[in-house]
Structure 1
């Protein structure tokens, strides 16, 4: 059931983003677009509420429940920039705006982008921890709480991989060119 809810929330995010941008650039209804895009955080509220209810009702906590916390952290931190990125492409395709610039793959600007992205990931991971630990002390029993706190292991793995394939990789490429 939780997998379906997470997938529905992910689909709802993309549907809301696309609808908002289509309203803005195709229908030229900027105000309606703003309203639709402003409702995106409600999707996150629905997800956390569903997880809280599921845990409260005694569901065995699995990786899917922890994934909901990670998803929430991701959308809170990266949702706005994802929509801004989409907005740039929609403006280019439908409103005659210039093509969005590609991000540099090496050099100081690339390093700055990677560090910024990594710091954003750390914030998203912090939100995931806060959500999972918050649920562990508010709606979970002892066994569920232990499972919810297990979010630390995948977050640590993601963080290490992100660092190695992001800032460390770009730094290595930049130094190799010197």
Structure 2
């Protein structure tokens, strides 16, 4: 009888621990407002400011992004210009495509294959593998992006970077629509 109680307690603790490790689902945001429409939000000038934190949470890099975005039908172009706190500059040009099922795909020169994403309510989940230059080497790093539209002009982006399933760090960005590049 005592062993049965211990087994029940152990199973309950394991269930609570596993529930604590679960991740958010895009469906958790169904019906939330404002509804994120990529063709509306990512259209025109946008400015973003962000930080990269290593796996310990320490901010190791800050940056600003000036971008312009435009759409022709279901195809959009995001032209991003990054300026880092150490003076380094980078450019990434995304080509986004809205699919018939409502998903989005995206390509860029430093993206391996195709990025894939979907919106639900005010959220977008977007994942891709990026070729990331670090100290003269290029690494393929997975990005799991969550974007949340906070209001008509503001979007929060939180990305977890990983390699072989190991978390390398996080990127956090605040986007402001309508700010001129």
Question: TM-score normalised by the shorter chain: which range applies?
Answer: under 0.3
> How high is the TM-score relative to the length of structure 2?
0.19
Q: Which has the higher strand share?
A: 2
Question: Which structure: greater helix fraction?
Answer: 1
Give the structure-1-normalised TM-score.
0.20
